[in-house]
Structure 1
């Protein structure tokens, strides 16, 4: 698989993304995978162990900073996870600070 990362500032928000070329995330799992201990149908089989905490931690960090996290299909295959945060000026406190 290939993994790519990127960022952009758009309309007062910072967007960070991670994309891969793996199997993607089925539509029925997309909301659930950000909950603690939830795992997608493809995860945990064979050599892919996991507890279902990683994306819940990412979601909690994004929320603590006034942002959101989401997942969508990537082209031609895979998934793209995006964290959107409010842009701030130097010295300005984060929303949860």
Structure 2
């Protein structure tokens, strides 16, 4: 991934990051109304990069947000546009991100749902003398 034309350097297993991102994208596609778009963006923080995957659709009720990353936890299936998930995709995302010293969070309101995957920036982890 790139931010302002420069690669986002993070330390970790590229295949595991790819799996986490694919799980988030699959989840977003499942809950996005047909004909609407998913937005993927990157925000640069002081010591982290935030990958934000946002999809329009029905909001996730607040009482479900704290359990969303629990293994096999599923919100009301009527929210889905198509297909059924296994209930483990978001738990896998959380496990991968936390294994890489990051965090994942979710925000949901009447307009959209946003999953924010935050991972440490590599340049903050390597002493400057190694550049």
Superposition TM-score tier, normalisation by shorter sequence:
0.7 to 0.9
Q: 1:62 to 1:45 in 2, by over 3 A?
A: closer
Is there any run of 5+ residues in structure 2 with no aligned partner, and where?
1-35, 127-131
Alignment equivalent of 2:60, drawn from 12, 18, 25? 25
Is there any run of 5+ residues in structure 1 with no aligned partner, and where?
93-97
CA distance in 2, matches of 1:26, 1:57: 21
CA distance in 2, matches of 1:47, 1:8: 30
CA distance in 1, matches of 2:67, 2:104: 12
SS of the residue corresponding to residue 89 of structure 1 reads: helix
Higher helix share: 2
With normalisation by structure 1, the TM-score equals 0.79
With normalisation by structure 2, the TM-score equals 0.60
Higher strand share: 1
Q: Which has the larger radius of gyration?
A: 2
Which residue in 1 is equivalent to 2:116?
82
SS of the residue corresponding to residue 32 of structure 1 reads: coil
Is the 2:58–2:79 contact (alpha carbons within 8 Å) kept by the matching residues of 1?
Answer: no
CA offset digits 1:5-53 (Å, max 9, x no partner): 0112111111001000111211111111101100112458784412111
Size of the alignment, in residue pairs?
91
CA distance in 2, matches of 1:43, 1:35: 19
